[in-house]
Structure 1
């Protein structure tokens, strides 16, 4: 038993990331260093986003199973094993996670909440705007921030909606659901994650 555990650990140390100087890592695209893997609880509830290396360690140690692999078919290789590049993995044992009622406000989360559309005109959004400008006492909260196109953001500047005669397309509110904590934290969501993220991830 001890020998088997040592063997797996040895294999992990030879599964190099794309920024490694080892020649065995040359096949891996450098973008893998920035990519994340969705970690699911045993109940398929999303828990967090981990690095590819961490995901491989969990699989090799028997703590998680591969749910989805990268569509490229690439694998991380060592002298003894080859592991498909994971995009989604699932823990074998359930872990209890305390529920967080509030979701941290981030650019990524707000853009997804507003479906990447301007809260004023509905065109594609590229910026974040405070409905009540911070210079006029507006808070940096889900209820006072909306996605905005550059044109509306520039035209609105530090004025109130009542001064412009504008109205919001929808009333901004804090998103609800466990998966929103993950959506707010991760910039790039892999399409394979969507089915586990609830309706709010679309």
Structure 2
């Protein structure tokens, strides 16, 4: 079981284990705002609800720029596993401007791509192939991207992650 941790200002911070969340609640460093249905957890000091979402009692300062690292999985997720050229199911990623021509491995230069389009395109640009990109590649934004572990989110987290988008 995992728990979403919110800052005192209700912005998503992290996803932690159920045990870590319970320790924060037991030490009065956090409060449970969404509970998991079921039996409570019994401790020497009483019963505690099983936390799905907790909010910290004190504000934690977060660095201003939370850059999302570029990964193959991230590019596929950003593009919804759809090819940037034909729209079919994508299993690879493609450099819009090929690396051999100075193309960087950045969010703006990578798109999800099906194996067929990737092989046909090869070492050329979409303009040379007379192809159009279906999307404009850009860095992802929002709470789902800056908070690790939210790709497999719990339905009770949705309202809190939507606030950060």
TM-score, normalised by the number of residues in structure 1 = 0.65
Structure 1 residue 189 and structure 2 residue 153: aligned?
yes
Partner residue of 1:146 out of 111, 121, 132: 111
Unaligned runs of 5+ in 1: 1-31
CA 1:174 to 1:166, structure 2 compared with 1: closer, same or farther past 3 Å? same
Q: Which has the higher contact order (CA 8 A, sep 6+)?
A: 2
Partner residue of 1:97 out of 34, 55, 62: 62
TM-score, normalised by the number of residues in structure 2 = 0.76
Note if contact 2:90-2:112 (Cα within 8 Å) is conserved in structure 1.
Answer: yes
- Number of equivalent positions: 165
More helix by share: 1
Q: Pairwise CA RMSD of aligned residues?
A: 3.1
Unaligned runs of 5+ in 2: none
Structure 1 residue 114 and structure 2 residue 79: aligned?
yes
Measure how far apart 1:139 and its partner are: 1.0
Q: Which residue of 1 aligns with 2:25?
A: 59
Note if contact 2:97-2:109 (Cα within 8 Å) is conserved in structure 1.
Answer: yes
For 2:133 and 2:163, the matched residues in 1 are separated by 23
Note if contact 2:79-2:112 (Cα within 8 Å) is conserved in structure 1.
Answer: yes
Further displaced range: 124-133 or 167-176: 124-133
Q: Which residue of 2 aligns with 1:27?
A: none
